[in-house]
Chain A
């Protein structure tokens, strides 16, 4: 039996170019961080899609629970006054 089963999963984030955020692009399996980095390069930047890569073990990511999303995001729902469009400003007032 192979001992190479179940290599850990890493999530891959790529900065397309300077000035942009790293963005999730997918995942790779690898034995360690270095291999994850090399696999991510080979898999996700074959056409110069990035200038920087982050890899992180998928098991280290803490995610919010979608089934709990309604309650979890509820506090922001009734605070429309946080948006600029909430305020009626007379047309005569400019650059505001």
Chain B
């Protein structure tokens, strides 16, 4: 079959809501789009561990600390599911991680913002994970099977993340004046970056139309953003907090994306450091495994 016929058959399968599996024929551009998107998604989970990991040692109570550790561990798990799903497309996790550490890969710009107070941890769970859920639920029905299945698993876990965040905000909003102020300031800080998580306005979104045709994407950036605002504003009202008014500053979004956000350099440096510091552990595990294998061979001969 020529490639045009293959492509027609592929699109017909997508139109019929069939799922595409890794060994099925797919256009190169579909494969490349998925590798780019899924790797960025995986990187975002891994880099996303940093702003919150930053507060594990300073969580106000043992309960909050245990919850935060579980959440950060989940984010690492989400990264692992997504790297695994991306590998089914014929790339290696090592190569993807190398791209991230080299600064050649993108990840969600939200993780380049700092977390100066404990309330930021509440705002991240409530808003950032809330926006992530809004983006991710439609991905559970995405046309590529392994991505969709990873997203089902991730979405189940994200709900805990969002609720624990709101729970932190709830407690602060019922606290002292200083605590309420802290909650409001965190909302002010995270509101606009959270809205930017849905990506540029539809008119400027360069990958959207094709991704919609391939059913990788099922709703437009602006549709999801509007829905998020609709859900979140009453939640803020319940907390007695005020949602910032105004317009999204898209130049800020582009700056952060281009590497000029408040923490871009710090985040990558922390990832590189963690990777280097873990090297001896990975090496030791490899050496142990090969020695065990050699011993087994010897015993067998």
Interface residues of A (CB under 8 A from B): 2-7, 9, 25-29, 31-32, 35, 42-43, 46-47, 63, 65-67
Interface of B is mostly: helix
Cβ B84 vs Cβ A26 within 8 A: yes
* B:265-301 near A, CB below 8 Å: 279, 282-283, 285-289, 292-293
Choose one: A2, A31, A46; the contact of B74 (CB below 8 Å).
Answer: A46
User: What are the nearest 7 A-B pairs in CB distance?
Assistant: A4-B282, A31-B289, A32-B289, A27-B84, A66-B23, A4-B286, A31-B285
Query: Closest CB of chain A to B159's CB: distance in Å?
Result: 12
Cβ B84 vs Cβ A2 within 8 A: no
Cβ A6 vs Cβ B25 within 8 A: no
Residues of A within 8 A of B73 (CB): 46
Interface size on B, residues (CB 8 A): 30
A35 to B287, alpha carbons, bound, how many Å? Answer: 13
Residues of B within 8 A of A28 (CB): 80, 84
A25 to B287, alpha carbons, bound, how many Å? Answer: 28
Query: Closest CB of chain A to B144's CB: distance in Å?
Result: 14
B93 at the interface (CB under 8 A from A): yes
B77 at the interface (CB under 8 A from A): yes
Contact A26 B81, CB 8 Å, known A2-B283, A3-B286, A4-B283 = yes
B258 at the interface (CB under 8 A from A): no
A27 to B89, alpha carbons, bound, how many Å? Answer: 14
Cβ B279 vs Cβ A43 within 8 A: no
Interface residues of B (CB under 8 A from A): 21, 23-25, 70, 73-74, 77, 80-81, 84-85, 87, 92-94, 149-150, 153, 157, 279, 282-283, 285-289, 292-293
Choose one: B92, B157, B283; the contact of A6 (CB below 8 Å).
Answer: B92
> Can you pick out 20 interface pairs between chain A and chain B where the beta carbons lie within 8 Å of each other?
A2-B279, A2-B282, A3-B283, A4-B285, A4-B286, A9-B87, A26-B84, A26-B85, A26-B149, A26-B150, A27-B84, A27-B87, A28-B84, A31-B286, A32-B289, A46-B73, A46-B74, A47-B157, A63-B23, A65-B23
A2 to B98, alpha carbons, bound, how many Å? Answer: 12
Contact A43 B286, CB 8 Å, known A5-B94, A27-B87, A29-B93 = no
A25 to B84, alpha carbons, bound, how many Å? Answer: 11
A2 to B157, alpha carbons, bound, how many Å? Answer: 33
Residues of A within 8 A of B93 (CB): 29
A9 to B289, alpha carbons, bound, how many Å? Answer: 14
